[in-house]
Chains A and B, each alone.
Chain A
Amino acid sequence: MREPEYIIEIENLKKYYKTVKAVDGISFKVKRGELFAFLGVNGAGKSTTINVISGILRKDEGKVEVCGYDIDKNSAGARQKVGVVFQNSVLDKKLTVYDNLKYRANLYGIFGEQFKSRLNCISDMFDLSQILKRPLEKLSGGQKRRVDIARALIHKPELLILDEPTTGLDPKTRITVWNVIEKMRKEENLTVFLTTHYMEESSVADYVVILDSGKIVSQGTPHKLKSDYSSDFLRIYKNIEAAEKYFSSKGRNCKRVHDRLEVEFENTEQISEEIKLQPQLFTDFEVVKGDMDNVFLKVTGKQLKDV
């Protein structure tokens, strides 16, 4: 049977908690095999949406299809094909890594030899062999996160949901986590549904949806979002006083950051024009393209890092 092009299809999803509209009529689709990023501040509705997709929460309205299953008709079928890495580790702290993986695998109908074979595979992938016999509570933050992801992948899901998977991790572990996810995407055609506070993580996504107060406020590829919403920044390192005076007089948004002046432009062409007009101001400078932080700020009026 041919697999559907979209692994998630959501139409007009609504979830209210009394008067709070946690998710208010959102619609989007996630293509099979892509890295999909879901952005929003705390309370935007990201976790509620994830909980509906993963079968923890019941929706109020709308249609949700996951891995070809309508969750109203066959939620268990969808759950068999979805792996979730929660924001905080939700494994059993007192149990060993082995026991955690065994008991969770059992819930997907993976027992005995089948489990051992899958464990070997996942253990190699995440370098778990040295820590299999250790209780989860004795592991470092990075090791725990590796186990969390291993647990989410123990049943070979088609869709991996990552709810802020690298929050609180050191940079080295973040890179390790992402390397593993990338490997899984390439080798097993895994679709990754990601929520994150790190904009550099969302900038490598294939598609981004920005959520605010339960509604989708923008969506598209990172390139399109940057083109549509973000600014370019001119950084000037010499003649700062003169440059600030000049660009302020032209009504440009200027900001001193340590040893440089940062001036905001709508696009790179405007900067080229200024270089031609005032070449004496451009003895030491660089042009920086706007990032996803900038997009998020423009779209929602909120700074994602601060929340």
Chain B
Amino acid sequence: MQELRKFVSLVQRNIKTFFKDKMIFFVSMITPLVMLVLFSTFLRSVYVNSIKDICAAFNMVADNKLLEGFAGAWLISSILSVSSVTVAFCSNTVIVNDKTEGNLNDLLISPVRKTTVSLSYYASNFAVTFIVMFGVLVVGFIYLGIFGWHIPVGDLFMILIDMVCAILFGTLLSGIIVNCFISKQGVASAVSGLVSSMYGFICGAYMPISQFGKGLRDLLACLPGTHSVCVMRLHFMSGYINILAEKGLPAEGVKALKDGFDANLYIGGKYIPVGVMYGVLLGACAVLLAAYVLILYLKGKRMH
């Protein structure tokens, strides 16, 4: 019980330390927002035209606001998926600072278990990433509200679940990398930058993976990050797709839209059901969690 209270106190301390550093908070929050602005400025019209073309191929002329909303939903789901990893890396600043500035030693001289300290870093990282992403989600919803809101309550709930799964994945991945390889702020920033620029392409968030070659498409479709993006897309876009279907888009058109915008995922031409996508994502989280615990255990044994 006492150890649990210490754990809660450490988590509070880590979260407060993160949010008191206005610069780090600003950077972690501004990155997804900048992406949103860049996406909507430079790519929105490309995607709207692409959706228009698909609809036109099935002799349907869709309402422009609906198409804008559809493109917006695609963009927001992409940004949220990428942010689950990039923000997680950014919010690891607290542990990296504690390591470099010696604050970690000040925690370790107290009668608290090392595993409690390590788990508190993970828990606070999860909480910070969730808070920042929730802020981004709210901004995204406002954006969709402006361009056209068609997300049913059920999907809204699923989006929150998708976000939690994505954060679980992102925080575990970043936690392992930071614990294993990073003890300097400069390295942390470099890795964060590298991940930010690469991850969006790897998980198909910056460009639909349906546009890549078959080999690359199959390779990317095997990665858990891609599954995270796909489930998020599905729940963001299904409301819009249903409206399009109601307005006369045939089943082939719906499939073409879903395939073209990664709401459907295929490996080797075989369709991957949503349940399997969750399975892959949560399975990856379980593997990462096991690796994280193992690393903490080995580091504890080998410590210093």
Contacts and interface: CB of A to CB of B under 8 A. Distances in A.
Contacts of B21: 94
Contact of A76 (B10, B13, B111): B111
Nearest to A76: B111
Interface string A89-111: 01110110001000110111101
Interface of A: 51, 54-58, 76-77, 79-80, 82, 84, 86, 88, 90-92, 94-95, 99, 103-104, 106-109, 111, 135, 151
Interface stretch (B65-73, B99-107, B258-266): B99-107
A261 to B, nearest CB: 47
B88 to A, nearest CB: 20
B111 A108 contact: yes
B20 interface: yes
Nearest to A78: B111
B109 interface: yes
A92 B13 contact: yes
Interface of A is mostly: loop
Contact of B110 (A91, A94, A107): A107
Interface in B1-18: 2, 5-6, 9-10, 12-13, 16-17
A56 B6 contact: no
A111 B5 contact: yes
Contact of B20 (A82, A84, A94, A103): A94
A90 B103 contact: yes
A125 B129 CA distance: 40
A86 B105 contact: yes
A88, A104, A106 interface centre (most CB from chain B within 10 Å): A106
B108 A103 contact: no
Contacts of B107: 107
B219 interface: no
Interface of B is mostly: helix
B95 to A, nearest CB: 13
Interface of B: 2, 5-6, 9-10, 12-13, 16-17, 20-21, 101-103, 105-113, 303-304
A80 B113 CA distance: 12
Contacts of B20: 94-95, 135
Nearest to B304: A57
A106 B110 CA distance: 10
A137 to B, nearest CB: 10
A51 B107 CA distance: 13
A108 B110 contact: yes
Contacts of B303: 58
A45 to B, nearest CB: 15
A107 B10 contact: yes
Contacts of B13: 92, 95, 99, 103
Given A86-B106, A106-B6, A111-B9, 7 more contacts: A57-B304, A86-B105, A91-B103, A92-B103, A107-B10, A135-B20, A151-B106
Contacts of B110: 79, 104, 107-108
Contacts of B102: 86, 88, 90
Contacts of B105: 51, 56, 86, 90
Nearest to B2: A109
B12 A104 contact: no
Nearest to B3: A109
Contact of B108 (A55, A99, A108): A55
Nearest to A86: B102
A90 B106 contact: yes
Nearest to A92: B17
B9 to A, nearest CB: 4
Contacts of B111: 76-77, 79-80, 107-109
